[in-house]
């Protein structure tokens, strides 16, 4: 696995020097300053790339070139945005960057209700509390039709949860959910959020899926010509939120996607933490079935409970069988090597980490402090070496 680390750009508190010391070889980064839908020019790409290379690293993966909402809804200027997307891929390819992560989550990218859940050892983790989400939906957003999406018991519990919150907690919950987590590219005020949700009133799961498939069909000739591996990131969490469909959540979703657009350039970011939130996702089976098109790995673990809450666990603990996943990744790499495939080292980044030690006193991007991720990377590296050295 090619060890990588996400970097949010020159303003990231976690510097490239830190990333290098963590032992990562490849940087995962994006031009966050360019508004969604606009073309990334060669000049801007090169400038960012030069900063990374001066630090002795390479820019191996783009995470993400975001998909404009118009493309997801197929409204407005979606055709222009698809053409712009193709141009961005061509420009990235010109600069020698061939792996592009993206997602197709409507309105919200990854979502958590709490960004600093204190764990037993004093470190903090990102978490998702189901009653907080429901209370937000029912009593803070006051989404039309929200009542129809929950049982009477769920509404009762959510109401009690809402009543227990003070103004500050309501503010903080609202910020966590809609202000935009790092890399999400989009954040909303309450009014904008409601408007965005409204845009999906006529878009059901199958319609959204067809929009994704149409987008990919339009993109593939360019991706193939430019040798760009597109790798879609799963929905996080992997189910519908706020009554809006999500279509990259389950084994059936990815089967449908890759059946519809079989090109290997239509690939996957295998995020164990996202898929792992659903107990009905058999990660190893999903990985093995689509291994040849997994172009990027996000390795992290989540711990879920019966009610639907989850939080980020230590990388080698929680619900993900990380030993099995690392072994599966190494197996795929060996297979590619034997087939003579050039991409036989898959970029892997330790995803999210606990805020811990000195980082507890720093303001870093939630989930993206240095030490927690460094710990995750070190554990994953050790696990990989152990597997390789023990007769694998
Ligand atoms: C969160 C990230 C996501 C991811 C995008 C990919 O930590 O994994 O924001 O970057 O969904 O487009």
pLDDT tens per residue, range 290-329:
999 999 999 999 999 999 999 999 999 999 999 999 999 9
Domains of the chain from N-terminus onward: 2-113+195-389 (3.20.20.150)
Residue 101 Cβ < 6 Å to ligand 1: yes
Catalytic status, residue 233: yes
Strand intervals (E) in 184-308: 229-233, 266-271, 294-299, 302-304
C-alpha to C-alpha distance for 31 and 387, rounded to whole angstroms: 36
Tell the residue nearest (CA) to atom 1 of ligand 1.
Answer: 110
- What is the average per-residue pLDDT within 178-196? 89
Catalytic status, residue 48: no
Average pLDDT, the chain: 97
Give, in degrees to the nearest 5, the angle at Cα 84 between 83 and 85: 90
pLDDT tens per residue, range 210-267:
999 999 999 999 999 999 999 999 999 999 999 999 999 999 999 999 999 999 999 9
Catalytic status, residue 271: yes
Q: What is the pTM of this model?
A: 0.98
Would the pLDDT of 391 be above 90? Answer: no
Crossing angle of helices 42-54 and 78-94, rounded to 10°: 40
Residue tagged active-site, from 101, 226, 231, 271: 271
pLDDT for 180: 85
Of all helices (H) and strands (E), which one includes residue 4?
Answer: strand 2-6
The token duo for 367 is: 């989930």
Is 329 in contact with 303 (CB distance < 8 Å)?
no
Sheet order of strands, 114-118 included: 114-118, 124-128, 310-312, 302-304
The dihedral of CA 131, 135, 141, 143: what is its sign? positive
pLDDT tens per residue, range 23-55:
999 999 999 999 999 999 999 999 999 999 999
pLDDT tens per residue, range 105-130:
999 999 999 999 999 999 999 999 99
The strand pairing partners of 360, in sequence order, are none
Of all helices (H) and strands (E), which one includes residue 72?
Answer: helix 69-73
pLDDT for 245: 98
Q: How far is CA 238 from CA 4, 59, 85, 374, in A?
A: 24, 28, 25, 26
Ligand 1 centroid–CA 390 distance in Å is 33
Task: Give the β-pairing of 310-312 and 266-271.
Answer: unpaired
Residue 109 Cβ < 6 Å to ligand 1: yes
Residue 111 Cβ < 6 Å to ligand 1: no
Catalytic status, residue 295: no
Residue 110 Cβ < 6 Å to ligand 1: yes
Nearest alpha carbon to residue 230 among 65, 348, 72, 33: 65
Among the atoms of ligand 1, which is closest to the Cα of residue 183? 9
pLDDT tens per residue, range 59-95:
999 999 999 999 999 999 999 999 999 999 999 999 9
User: pLDDT category, 161, cuts 50, 70, 90?
Assistant: very high
Residue tagged active-site, from 139, 352, 354, 359: 352
Is 216 in contact with 266 (CB distance < 8 Å)?
yes
């Amino acid at each position: 696995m090619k060890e990588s680390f996400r970097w949010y750009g020159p303003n990231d508190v976690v510097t490239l020097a830190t990333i290098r010391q963590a032992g990562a070889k490849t940087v995962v980064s994006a031009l966050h300053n360019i508004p969604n839908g606009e073309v990334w020019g060669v000049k801007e790409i090169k400038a960012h790339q030069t900063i990374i290379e001066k630090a002795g690293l390479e820019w191996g993966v783009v995470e993400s070139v975001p998909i404009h909402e118009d493309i997801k809804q197929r409204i407005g200027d979606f055709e222009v945005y698809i053409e712009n997307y193709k141009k961005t891929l061509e420009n990235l390819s010109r600069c020698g960057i061939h792996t592009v992560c993206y997602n197709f989550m409507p309105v919200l990218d990854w979502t958590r209700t709490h960004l600093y859940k204190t764990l037993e050892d004093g470190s903090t983790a990102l978490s998702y509390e189901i009653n907080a989400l429901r209370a937000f939906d029912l009593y803070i957003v006051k989404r039309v039709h929200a009542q129809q999406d929950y049982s009477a018991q769920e509404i009762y519990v959510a109401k009690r949860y809402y009543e227990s919150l003070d103004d500050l907690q309501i503010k903080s919950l609202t910020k966590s959910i809609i202000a935009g987590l790092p890399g999400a590219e989009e954040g909303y005020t309450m009014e904008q959020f409601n408007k965005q949700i409204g845009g999906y009133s006529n878009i059901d799961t199958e319609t959204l899926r067809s929009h994704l498939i149409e987008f990919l069909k339009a993109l593939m000739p360019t991706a193939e010509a430019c040798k760009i591996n597109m790798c879609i990131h799963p929905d996080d969490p992997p189910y519908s939120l706020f009554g809006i469909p999500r279509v990259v959540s389950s084994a059936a979703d990815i089967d449908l996607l890759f059946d519809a657009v079989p090109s290997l350039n239509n690939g996957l970011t295998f995020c164990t933490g996202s898929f792992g939130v659903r107990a009905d996702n058999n990660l190893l089976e999903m990985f093995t079935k689509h291994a040849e098109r997994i172009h990027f790995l996000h390795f992290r673990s989540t711990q879920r409970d019966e009610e639907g809450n989850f939080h980020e666990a230590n990388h080698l603990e929680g619900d993900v069988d990380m030993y099995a996943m690392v072994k599966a990744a190494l197996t795929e790499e060996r297979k590619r090597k034997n087939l003579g495939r050039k991409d036989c080292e898959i970029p892997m980044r330790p995803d999210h980490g606990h805020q811990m030690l000195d980082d507890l006193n720093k303001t870093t991007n939630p989930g993206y402090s240095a030490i927690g991720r460094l710990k995750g990377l070190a554990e994953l590296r050790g696990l990989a070496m152990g597997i390789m050295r023990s007769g694998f």
